[in-house]
Chain A
Amino acid sequence: MERRIGERRQGRRSASQSDRVEPLAKSLGWFSIGLGVAEVAAPGKIAQLIGLGNQPGRRALLRFYGIREIAAGIGILSGRRTDGWMWGRVAGDVMDIATLGSAMSSDDTNRTRLATAAAAVLGITALDMYCGRELVRTAPTNHRMSFKKTIIINRPREETYSFWRDLENLPRFMERLESVQVRSETLSRWRARAPAGVNLEWDSEIIRDEPNSLIAWRSVEGAQMKTSGSVRFETATGKRGTLVTLEVEYSPPGGAIGAGIAKLLGAEPGQQVENGLRRMKQILETGDIVRSEASIHHRMHAAQPPAEFEEKILGEGWRTHQLPAEHGRTFRGEEAL
């Protein structure tokens, strides 16, 4: 199963497939809006047309369905998560059919018209389902990803650079990076752990090193994880510390490993990188990662002190970064005024 998903993700969306599905999705989106507007504007007329009778309760229901149709239509046409909205339409179709079906047993309804309407809805449902499946099947699957994130750190360039240049510091602030072992001046071995126990290991080499300005690296030939990146250090305006700009690129392979890497990077990999940089700022500016009672847990947790048995969540304990005395002045509230 995993393999199949991997293979699917590997394929790129072919032009002919997307050409076929996207116009259909668009038409269904406009159809949704048109029907929705009609249901909202003239629920009585629609009710009579489909044989539902003209009762106030049914009119209100049709208006509600109309709003649903309009929302789905806008969602589909927005072009974001089109497949999700399309499956939303399918759910709506099921509601419609259920409504028509239950109206059949009512006295004040026109059964012939109801049956015609139900047949029409069934046809539309089939079209919606086809379109939804095609959208999922042909979704873009190339997982080559790249990020560029910047953070400003209230420390001198030299210190920020040296901290990063000691690559063994990276796992302290980069989530899911378990360890970096420095093998030589340029070579290092990286280990990362994804949820569900998938472990990844790769060797990386530094390809450019300009003291206090830039470090660039890439995974070595044949590594499981194909990745490259660079980090730049620039003095901020007004000497307000250092601008750190991190650029990373991953091209995960297909198959189970690719799926594992996708999991490793999570739903919002850019956010992970950003959070990592923020933790680096915390270490460099305050001496340690800032922890709250809730944030020490991996999942959402109540803001309560950890119980005895949860001690392990703190991991290996602290390795406080020694702040150099000349930059380590703490600004206390009492000095402010």
Chain B
Amino acid sequence: MKAICWMGKNDVRLEEVPDPRILDPRDAIIRVTSTAICGSDLHLYGGFVQTMKKGDILGHEFMGEVVETGSEVRNLQKGDRVVVPFPIACGKCFSCQKGLFSVCENSNPNAWMAEKMWGHSPAGIFGYSHLTGGFAGGQAEYARVPFADVGPLKVPAEMADDQVLFLSDIFPTGYMGAEMCSIEPGDTVAVWGCGPVGQFAMKSALLLGAERVIGIDRFPDRLRMAREKIGVEIVDYEETDPLEFLKETTGGRGPDGCIDAVGMEAHTPGVLYAYDRTKQAIMGETDRPIALRQAVTACRNGGTVSVIGVYGGLVDKFPMGSVMNKSLTMRAGQCHVQRYMRPLLERIQKGEIDPSFVITHRLRLEDGPQGYEMFREKAENCIKIVLKTNGIEAEGGRMIH
């Protein structure tokens, strides 16, 4: 089959690889129909995540049709159309039974690696380095899905791929980011990063009852999407200092909830960026926590900072004094996708949201490598790329610019 493989830093290619096969009775094989490139795939692409190996199949946002099931998978049948959550979770361990699927205790065969870095290991993740298991990803014609009796969600035939694909990651991730803010009526929520996850975090904050939502970014098309498609206020941080703006617009109090949807490769104008970039280059820190520092500093006394942007290792100059003295609550995590898929599917069915609004490009799987480059460069106002294996026309889609 054809698959998009990581071949080195800034080098992904379409390769011919063996077809996946059932390795465990709880596996299923999916024929992928749609798969997306995630912002976090760019961290892998740029070589910011350790333990990648030449030839790794990428991709953790995918859906398709079940073509084979292991003997223990009784909830799925050949021909079922399913969306696959990106964290691999066993459904049997302490974490899974608490609904904390992204920290499943069993699904990472390389748990020892992650333990050395983080103390404990999170769940395995499709196509996301060997630190999270060395699982082949879903940017391919077929994919093996472990614990298929736990994760995949069957979707109704009348719903298009583009409407439900993002239940695999970015919609639940954004939603969890908003949910972690414990939003109350009248709350103001600020979101750093208006990429696809940030867009879903903003939309979810509104769905959860926030009165004001403010999106912060520097790319005009992303800010425009936030304003026009979601209807939130926007701040271009290259023109306006977000800290000053947020303070002023809340009468000096600060936002009740602050969501970091940026993660380890943040930018900022001026010397601070140069400082962090340099520290990163000389391995003095692995992540640039620029958005995170701002979120902590901006947050109101007793407010919540919610981190859904991806971090990998160590950060420098973290304002812990602000967290402690302002009585902040900090919450974070890879999304426990499995627990949000059903309720969010219902929200889509009720028409509360159509997640396909973030899609700017639909490409053939074969064009994935160009997609990565385009996404990294933010060329052609690229915000979200979906790769199709059936041909673009089959989905009734077209290239949108």
A285 close to B (CB within 8 Å): yes
Of the candidates A296, A314, A334, the one having the most CB atoms from chain B within 10 angstroms of its own CB is A334
Q: Which residues of A contact B217 (CB under 8 A)?
A: none
B25 A333 Cβ-Cβ under 8 A: no
A337 close to B (CB within 8 Å): yes
Give the docked Cα–Cα distance between A272 and B27 (Å): 27
Contact of A296 among B23, B89, B91, B97 (CB under 8 A): B23
B109 A285 Cβ-Cβ under 8 A: no
A298 close to B (CB within 8 Å): no
Contact of B109 among A240, A241, A287, A295 (CB under 8 A): A295
A286 close to B (CB within 8 Å): yes
Give the docked Cα–Cα distance between A318 and B24 (Å): 7
If over half of A's interface residues share one DSSP class (helix, strand or loop), that class is named, otherwise mixed; here it is: loop
B339 A295 Cβ-Cβ under 8 A: no
Stretch at the interface among A7-15, A249-257, A304-312: A304-312
Chain B, residue nearest A275 (CB): B112
A320 close to B (CB within 8 Å): yes
Q: Which residues of B contact A286 (CB under 8 A)?
A: 26, 90, 92-93, 106, 147
Q: How far is the CB of A195 from chain B (nearest CB, A)?
A: 19
Give the docked Cα–Cα distance between A129 and B106 (Å): 48
Give the docked Cα–Cα distance between A269 and B270 (Å): 49
Q: Which residues of A contact B17 (CB under 8 A)?
A: 304-305
If over half of B's interface residues share one DSSP class (helix, strand or loop), that class is named, otherwise mixed; here it is: loop
B241 close to A (CB within 8 Å): no
A152 B111 Cβ-Cβ under 8 A: no
Contact of B92 among A154, A302, A308, A337 (CB under 8 A): A154
A307 B18 Cβ-Cβ under 8 A: yes
- Please name 23 pairs of A and B residues whose Cβ atoms are closer than 8 Å in the assembled complex, sorted by A: A278-B111, A289-B109, A290-B24, A292-B135, A293-B134, A293-B135, A293-B136, A296-B23, A302-B56, A303-B130, A304-B17, A304-B18, A305-B144, A318-B25, A320-B25, A331-B92, A331-B150, A333-B338, A333-B340, A336-B338, A336-B339, A337-B340, A337-B342
Q: Chain B residues in contact with chain A, CB under 8 A? A: 3, 5, 17-21, 23-26, 53-57, 72, 75, 85, 89-94, 96-97, 99, 101, 105-112, 124, 127, 130, 133-137, 144, 146-147, 149-151, 153, 336-343
Extra A-B contacts (19), CB below 8 Å, given A282-B90, A285-B93, A295-B110: A154-B92, A154-B94, A278-B112, A285-B90, A285-B106, A287-B72, A290-B106, A290-B107, A292-B133, A292-B135, A292-B136, A300-B130, A302-B56, A303-B130, A306-B21, A318-B25, A330-B149, A333-B85, A333-B151
